[in-house]
Structure 1
Amino acid sequence: MPQHLPYPVLLRSQGASFVALGFLGRLPTGILPLSLLLYTQHALGSFALAGLATAALSLGGAAGAVLVGHLSDQYGHRVVGLVATVVQTAAIAAFLTWCRPDVPLAVACGLAALIGFANPQLGAMARARWSQVAAGRPDRVAFTASAMAWEGAVDEVSFVVGPVLATTLSAVAPPLPLLTALALAWVGQVGFALHRSALPALRHGRLRHAESADRIDWTVLVPLGIAVGGVGVLFGGTQTSVAAYFTERGEAAVAGLVYGALAVGSAATGLLSNRIPARFPLAARIVVFGFGCALTSPLLIVAWDAPSMALACLLIGVMVGPTLVTGYAYAERISPPERLSTVMTMLSTVGVVGVAIGAALAGQVVESHSAQTAAWIATVGGLLAGVAGVAIPRRR
């Protein structure tokens, strides 16, 4: 039995439409934070108020993610994906209409929170669908490893392409990024919800295999959540410190490209993680690559220009990729098929919260010390991921 599955074989199992819609449907999530920030600043003339609206978007997303994941398990991907997209796109349209100086800020923040709350959680749905396909295959373990690695890479690419689209389109017309996100939601999210691979409601059952878990193993899932949250802290700390560093130097335009190197490294090693030998236990991988994040993060502190900072981000990403892929792969292994969408959204929510915490802490350190000192927050996130890996129970 091969230890890894070639990606062409993996992708053919679901078809080109699944791959294309899975990417397009995730782009709105990557576009929305920055596009909402830029549009609010244009409409209200204040970055402080724009930051509040963006924070509401993130908080709404964190609040709604697990509920949407649970409902998609309970009632099926089609119904929940369609309803969530309708609510989200209606909220985007309302935000474009009501984000004005003569309308109370609470209205804009409430609509921003609703946009995040109604995110269809397409990534979690995609991972659940891969898991169901894998359950009926003789090469299930290799198939699942490649599927989780692929989805991790798609996540990374969408979070790089999204902000680039947001800044480029905003330069043409401030409302254009939000309108683009709305259009992509109707194409990608609706298309993915209606795709033939969509999982039905629980009453129709889920395909199981001999090693399917009967209940969620919380002794493993909690440390996994802490590890993913630690990586989120690393992301938030790195993004904020890099942005502040280049803003202080009057080179804010290059910050996005430099930070994008982290996603490049993460996507590359994430795709290669399906080739890690099976004898290297999943918990041990989180320990090794989590502490690897902590060891590479201080490179941000000694970097002196854009190329050296980009190299630091790239090396951090090399360690981040396998950490995240392994976290989701392990979660798939210890979760019942009937609860997989819920579990995956729980992990992604913890990651989003971690990003918010890391960004907030780094912002405080930037104000009180310096941008490069704030990069220590990224090291804290890596240490948190590594320690969480140590806490995962060792089992055969």
Structure 2
Amino acid sequence: MKYVIVLGDGMSDEPIKELGNQTPISFANTPKLDELSKKSEIGLVSTIPQGMKPGSDTANLSVLGYDPKSYYTGRSPLEALSIGVDMKDTDIAIRCNIVTLSEDDRPYEEKSIIDHSASEISTEEAAVLLEAVKKELSNEIFSYYLGISYRHLLIWDKGQVVELTPPHDILGKVIGQYLPQEELLKEMMIKSYDILVNHPINLARKEKGLHPANSIWFWGAGTKPALSSFEEKTHKKGAMISAVDLLKGIAVGAGMLNIEVEGADGTLETNYEGKAKAAVEVLTKQDYDFVYIHVEAPDEMGHQGSVEKKIKAIEYLDQRVIKIVAENLDALKVDYRMLVLPDHPTPICVRTHTSDPVPYMLYDSTNPQSRNWNYNEKEAKESGNYIAQGHTIIDYLFSK
């Protein structure tokens, strides 16, 4: 038996008036999900432990079987694992987004945050901008590391875990009350605006109608992580397919194989087919038991507040990932169990994460059900199936 998790980051949502009070999942044209759901179990799972913030970090740890209350030490340390930073026990890792702030004559504290991803800036352009920041701001205490797209890393030598606000939580808001209380961090953010606002790359981006990447933004501080081995814990040999450093870092910490897919970039135009084909290959040709396919696009479209693009991301997930994986495994006569779910909701109405339970679909090719339901939030709730502790759902996947 082979095992697959297909995770559509932030895919779950609230009913939307212009969709006839449907959610993007229920509105989207998803023929493969519709087909499989009628042969599957559907239900709700709570991936965010009570009292913890609804991040992709805590949620994906849950889905992979790691109770965040025991294993979570912060988001950025997991990303540091992916980037290859060898953290000391005294280091603090901090996520360093490159964001878009309003450009006006008001002081930095009175500016508003326009875009947490600077129009999903390319890694190539971000590298040039981060180098300009590093040249001016790095020293023996603060070290900057390049990640992917807008997602980068700061290591603070002998630092402290401080309260920092995720930029996607305050889109459209004036930033003053959300800036770090730690003066050194706040000062670097202010200086970064002066470094970046008139950078040639940003001038060119504005000419193209793209958001300028005109400031860094710190959040997600944490200490060096220590995850137990996925294989030792589950007795399954696992692989990760993701475009983002957070998931890659979890895989590094858990001793899983990270599979790099050309053109996988965490955007709406990521290489869906490449991810699907890599998943089939690692299960059938490399003797792995389990693969985790993470797709970032629904979450990004939720943060952008784009109903149309979020629906498109879900439809791409259905036709360009789930369909390919299922049909290839069926054609090869491989027995498999497939779990489809989001990590957390990213509702269009708030443009950030919430802690509500998310819908799951569990399909077993050896034991197809006969149901009359579709995979979506409403019908998952009506099923009466509910998993209260998210970190147990992977045991449920592996239970047969």
Task: Report the TM range for the smaller structure's normalisation.
Answer: under 0.3
**Structure with more helix by fraction:** 1
TM-score normalized by structure 2? Answer: 0.26
**Structure with more strand by fraction:** 2
* Higher normalized contact order (CA 8 Å, seq sep 6+, divided by chain length): 2
